[in-house]
């Protein structure tokens, strides 16, 4: 990734098309959503371990975002801003976290099944 694009992503100046945002939001809240390349039919140990690692990282990331969000919202003075942040962003983050925990549980169970033979 080049430095300009990375800076745009960090400071929020990168343009996001409405359709792209809608698709991302839909994917974030849909319980049946899978990550790109994820095949729940796989019976390969390496696949299960890969998805366990991926979902574990995503869970840690979302938990950190929720903690950061809670700290930031606590310092917001405007009740409208606070309500928007808590009523939209936090709701979506929590739903994503639930979905990721569910997918992690699936892959942990799958790994146990694979190991049991």
Q: What is the pLDDT of residues 13-48, one digit of tens each?
A: 688 898 888 888 898 889 999 999 999 999 999 999
Rounded distance between C-alpha atoms, residue 110 and residue 117, angstroms: 11
CA count, 13 A, side-chain hemisphere, 55: 23
Among left, alpha and beta (phi > 0; psi -120 to 50; other), residue 14 is beta
Residue 97 in domain = yes
Rounded distance between C-alpha atoms, residue 86 and residue 66, angstroms: 10
Instruction: Supply the pLDDT for residue 37.
Output: 97
Residue 8 in domain = no
DSSP 72-86: HHHT---HHHHHHII
Residue 91 in domain = yes
Instruction: Supply the pLDDT for residue 11.
Output: 64
Instruction: Supply the pLDDT for residue 25.
Output: 87
Residue 82 in domain = yes
The total number of structural domains that make up the chain: 1
Which residue segment(s) compose the domain that 46 sits in? 31-116
**CB neighbours (10 Å) of residue 50?**
15
């Amino acid at each position: 990734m080049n430095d300009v694009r990375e800076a745009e992503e960090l400071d929020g100046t990168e343009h996001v098309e409405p359709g792209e945002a809608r698709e991302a939001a839909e994917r974030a809240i849909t319980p049946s959503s899978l990550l790109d390349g994820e095949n729940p039919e796989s019976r390969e140990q390496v696949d299960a371990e890969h998805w366990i690692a991926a979902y574990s990282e995503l869970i840690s990331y979302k938990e950190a975002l929720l903690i950061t969000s809670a700290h930031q919202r606590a310092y917001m003075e405007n009740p409208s801003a606070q309500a928007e942040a808590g009523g939209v962003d936090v709701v979506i983050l929590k739903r994503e976290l639930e979905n990721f925990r569910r997918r992690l549980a699936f892959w942990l169970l799958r790994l146990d099944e694979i190991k049991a033979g």
